[in-house]
Structure 1
Amino acid sequence: MVLELIAFNIESCRLIEQAGGGRIELCANPVEGGTTVSYGMLKAAREAVNIPVFPIIRPRGGDFLYNSEEYTIMQQDVRLCREIGMDGVVIGLLDRFGKVDKARTARLVELAYPMEVTFHRAFDHVSEPLAALEDVIQCGCVRILTSGGADTALQGLPSLQQLVGSADDRIIILPGSGIRSGNIRQLAEATGLQEFHSSARTILKSGMAYVNGNMTERLETYTVDPEEVRACIKAMNR
């Protein structure tokens, strides 16, 4: 069984590998749900760990309806990830009616080869999940990261089970959102799935000795709790 974890910095990448994580989704900007990291971060992450690294290809936060300039950026970032030697990328494109943007998704999958492509939680904003499932399969993606269209994977469990049945082993369904060591076994037993996605997130306090008391901006950063990673893996494989 594989536990994928989100990393927002290089230290998190190392912690995930050391704790036994099986794959990294590499993101910047956690407040907006994750955006593409810098070139320097891509290279550093690839050099820091040996486990698979899948950068998210998302030029901004917000919705998943991209204009031509944003799509050009996404194409360039996919090429860059391939050149650096990443194992895969994570993408998600919709049209204004909540359907998968098949033409541009398929083009990105083609550009990414031989990297794997995961379709991310843009999937949770589609208007017709079962039709979108078929579209993503046709585009050539390897997996779909989804909470079943709910705020958390546990809340979306009935939809996840329906997606698993409809997928029929043609694509990997990767549950994500709100997955922790306390519920991952329940999800595994209820779905029969072999891959799970978690942030195992914790907050790292600033190391600054001086803090300007007139500023309300928080100087904390997100990182990974390695003990929670280990607990998830233990529960998942129990």
Structure 2
Amino acid sequence: MTLEVCAQSIQSCLTAQKAGAWRVELCQALELGGLTPSSGVIQMATNYLTIPIHVLIRPRSGHFTYSRVEQECIISEIDNVKAMGASGVVVGALDEDGDVDVDLLERMIRRADPLEVTFHRAIDVSRDYQEAMKVLIDSGCTRVLTSGRVKRAIDGIDLLKQTVDSFGDQIEIMAGSGVSATNIADFASIGIEHFHLSGSQRVSGQNSEVMDMGYSETSLQSIKEARDIIKQLRKKDKD
């Protein structure tokens, strides 16, 4: 079982590592669903972290159908991330029909090689979830991050179980969106072994009537609690 923490700052990355996360997904602007972080943040993360870092490659917010120029931006970002020492990339792309953009996906995988490739929750808004899963497997994705086509993964647990039963031996299936220490055992009970969460908390900023100066950071306690649950489940499996 593994725990991946979605972090949008150097401090959150360090907190995730200290709390015992197995891996970090590095991004920025989680309030927009996550975007590619700056090169400076990526470089500092690879300099300071000893756990694997997977970087989100998403050039803008909104839908996952990308223009030719945006596709070139994506490929360029993969090159940059690879050069800076990341362990993997997190990508996702759909065509205008809502199916996985196979040409772009295969291009991203080739460019990222030998890094691991995670296909993100674009699959949850794809036209045909089962067919999309088959495409990811055929293309050689390492894993897929999914909520089971709903906002909160716990509400998609039936589809997640079907997905694990059908495809769990061919691709890593990682549950994400609303995952926490309180429900990890529920996901584990249906065969999910990989968990993705942010475990974030709101940090107050300077008082200002002009703008909100607060921000979100990874909570050490939340990640520790999730890690401890996973360790207990792993020990139980061994026993």
Q: How far does the alpha carbon of each residue in 1:83-125 deviate from its partner, in whole angstroms, 9 at most, with x for none?
A: 1111000000001211000111011000000100000001100
CA distance in 2, matches of 1:237, 1:186: 15
- 1:218 pairs with 2:227: no
Q: Is the 8 A contact 1:130 1:166 kept in 2?
A: no
How far the C-alpha of 1:237 sits from its partner, in A, is: 2.6
Q: Distance in 2 between matches of 1:84 and 1:229?
A: 26
Q: 1 CA distance for matches of 2:59 and 2:7? A: 17
Counterpart contact for 2:124–2:146, Cα < 8 Å? yes
Residue 143 of structure 2 aligns with which residue? Answer: 143
Question: How far did residue 212 of structure 1 move?
Answer: 3.8
Alignment check: 8 A CA contact 1:93 1:105 kept? yes
Distance, in Å, in 1 between the alignment partners of 2:165 and 2:222 is: 30
C-alpha contact (below 8 Å) 1:89/1:115 kept by paired residues: yes
2:227 is equivalent to residue 228 of structure 1? no
Counterpart of 1:57, as a letter, is I
Corresponding residue SS for 2:138: helix
Partner SS state of residue 151, structure 1 = coil
The CA deviation string for residues 29-87 of structure 1, in whole angstroms up to 9 with x for no partner, is 11101000111111011112110000100000111011011110000000111111110
**Number of residues paired by the alignment?**
232
Gaps of 5+ in 1: none
Q: What letter corresponds to residue 58 of structure 1 in structure 2?
A: R
* Counterpart Cα distance in 2 of 1:49 and 1:237: 21
Cα distance in 2, alignment partners of residues 230 and 212 from structure 1: 33
Kindly report the root-mean-square deviation, in angstroms, between the aligned alpha carbons of the 2 structures.
1.0
| Contact 1:13–1:48 (CA under 8 A) maintained in structure 2 | no
- Asked whether 1:108 is paired with 2:108, we answer yes
Residue 161 of structure 1 corresponds to 161
Q: Which amino acid aligns with 2:230?
A: M
Conserved 8 A contact 2:19-2:227: no
Q: Return the alpha-carbon distance in structure 1 between the equivalents of residues 163 and 151 of structure 2.
A: 16
Distance in 1 of aligned mates of 2:142 and 2:91: 11
SS at match of 2:90: strand
Identity in percent: 34
Match of residue 83 from structure 2: 83
What CA distance in whole angstroms lies between the structure 2 residues aligned with 1:99 and 1:197? 24
Partner of 1:128: 128
Match for residue 198 of structure 2? 199
Cα separation, 1, equivalents of 2:213 and 2:182: 29
Instruction: Output one character per residue of 1:152-204: Cα deviation in whole Å (capped at 9) or x when no partner.
Output: 11000011111111214110000000011111111111x22221001101111
SS of the aligned residue for 2:11 comes to: helix
2:98–2:125 CA contact under 8 A, matched in 1? yes
Q: Distance in 2 between matches of 1:80 and 1:93?
A: 19
Q: CA deviation at 1:222?
A: 1.1
Corresponding residue SS for 1:174: strand
Structure 2 alignment gaps of length 5 or more:
233-239
Deviates more, 1:193-202 or 1:142-151: 193-202
How many Å separate the matches in 1 of 2:208 and 2:130? 51
Counterpart residue identity of residue 74, structure 1: I
